[in-house]
Amino acid sequence: MNILLVGSGGREHALAWKMAQSPLLTRLVAAPGNPGVARLCEVRPELKADDAEGLAALAREIRADLVVVGPEVALAAGLADRLAAAGIPCFGPTAKAAQLETSKAFSKDLLQRHGIPTAGYGVHETVADAKAALDRFQPPYVIKADGLAAGKGVAISPDRRDAEAEIERMLGGRFGAAGARVVIEEFMDGEEGSLFALCDGQRAVLFGGAQDHKRAFDGDLGPNTGGMGAYSPAPVFTPDLVQQADERIVQPTLRAMAAEGAPYRGVLYAGLMATADGPKVVEFNARFGDPECQVLMMRMAGDIVPYLLACARDDVSGLKPPQFKPQTVICVVLAAKGYPDSPLEGSIIRGAEQDFGPHVQVFHAGTRRRSDGQLAAAGGRVLNVCAEGQDIDEARQRAYAAIRQIDWPGGFHRTDIGWRALER
């Protein structure tokens, strides 16, 4: 099989690493890819992930039997729609179905229409309207930009003054068009987890869970980020919680999307809160989580390709439930100093490409290969150090031991990834 992989982050490096092990694979091409991906397969760095036309042309050029889409920007740009028109199977939803992620108002309205558990909310277009709506909520106030904001479009405000300032900032253009509307919603108390399901437009097969660490600094302090680390399995996902989430959230969402003419194909990422009243939706994403994908790829036993292909060909019914190793896998994100606001660009990284042994993988995210062959930082989240162990403690020790061997003064990382699991 010829496969085109779209994206350039650690998620895509992990997908490339897993797919490269598939006996079904003939040729793997990644666009744009990154220097880590380039060690595994062909890359087309000149193509950007939101260039739907260029990517569809590349899929035709390499006679792709499957296109695997990593990032949401490609979905929002309509890549799946173009590929459908060209008759090329695509792992990833149409732009319409991807609204589950690209518009929080769309997903909240869908959940409400279909009685799927989530926080109570309102959608507002003007500052006056949004401020008045705060009357209906208690602090802390949860305020979200409607559109895509790279994981940074959510504010949790401790008091009304702060909430009003956030409303002014968001509706005042801080996130551009993504902030043309804001969602204000009820604060949900509980522990969060990310649950994944592989979907064929009608049905969903659960694909494991993980827990992410969204805040930049230790102790869950600092600004929200795209994710500073993850681990799987996450103890928050008891068998009971997973079953409730499948029955009350995942399957009803698939049915709702099909009924509303936007059948959902690809991976559904359900960001869930385990509340006293059971699991509720915090958000949906239309793609694998980053860095959750990295830990899932390392934990998955067997070949991923048949699963991705079954979704893309609209039939997951013949799939066996995916198997995961019992080991715990942890991923620690190394980010450039200044991330998420203004990551320092171009600092040299040494020691990241050595062999760390059988239990550790280092995936590249925002790296660049300089003309002198050295690796340099070229983004916010730069490297993902992933390790497996018999338990969370062993996995953590291996990951942090590997990090100590990487010489990168321009970077930082959290030292407490997995703390919730360790404290249990």
Chain residues that interact with ligand GLY, rule: CB under 6 A? 151, 212, 226-227, 285, 289-290, 292
Distance CA 204, CA 198 (A): 5
Q: Which is nearer to ligand GLY, 196 or 408 (CB)?
A: 196
Distance CA 418, CA 205 (A): 26
Closest among 352, 330, 331 to 411, alpha carbons compared:
352
- Strand, coil or helix: what is 44? coil
> At closest approach, how far in Å is the CB of 162 from ligand GLY?
24
Tell me, residue by residue from 149 to 178, as one string, x for binding to ligand AMP by CB under 6 A and - for no binding. Answer: --x--x-x----------------------
CA distances from 289 to 84, 86, 284 (A): 24, 27, 10
- Give the binding range for ligand AMP (CB under 6 A) out of 37-45, 105-113, 179-187, 397-405: 179-187
Question: With CB cut-offs between 5 and 8 Å by kind, which of ligand AMP, ligand GLY, none does residue 185 bind?
Answer: ligand AMP
Q: Is 403 in the site for ligand AMP (CB under 6 A)?
A: no
Tell me how many residues contact ligand AMP (CB under 6 A): 16
Query: Max CA-CA distance within the chain?
Result: 59
For the segment 29-88, give every residue that binds ligand AMP (CB under 6 A): none
**H-assigned helices in 93-159:** 99-102, 104-113, 127-133
Considering only residues 142, 257, 375, 392, which one is a binding residue for ligand AMP as defined by CB under 6 A?
A: 142
Question: With CB cut-offs between 5 and 8 Å by kind, which of ligand GLY, ligand AMP, none does residue 289 bind?
Answer: ligand GLY
Distance CA 313, CA 332 (A): 34
Q: Is 411 in the site for ligand AMP (CB under 6 A)?
A: no
Considering only residues 8, 34, 99, 224, which one is a binding residue for ligand AMP as defined by CB under 6 A?
A: 224
**H-assigned helices in 313-385:** none
- Strand, coil or helix: what is 7? strand
Q: Is 283 in the site for ligand AMP (CB under 6 A)?
A: yes
> At closest approach, how far in Å is the CB of 249 from ligand GLY?
17
Q: Which is nearer to ligand GLY, 65 or 290 (CB)?
A: 290
Q: Is 412 in the site for ligand AMP (CB under 6 A)?
A: no
Beta bridge partners of 388: 329
Distance CA 204, CA 206 (A): 6
Burial (Cβ within 10 Å: 0-12, 13-18, ≥19) of residue 341: exposed
Distance CA 65, CA 375 (A): 33
Question: With CB cut-offs between 5 and 8 Å by kind, which of ligand GLY, ligand AMP, none does residue 82 bind?
Answer: none
DSSP code of residue 135: G
Q: Which is nearer to ligand GLY, 284 or 356 (CB)?
A: 284
Q: Which is nearer to ligand AMP, 151 or 179 (CB)?
A: 151
Structural tokens at position 212: 């992410």
Residues that bind ligand AMP (CB under 6 A): 119, 142, 144, 151, 154, 156, 185-188, 192, 214, 224, 271, 282-283
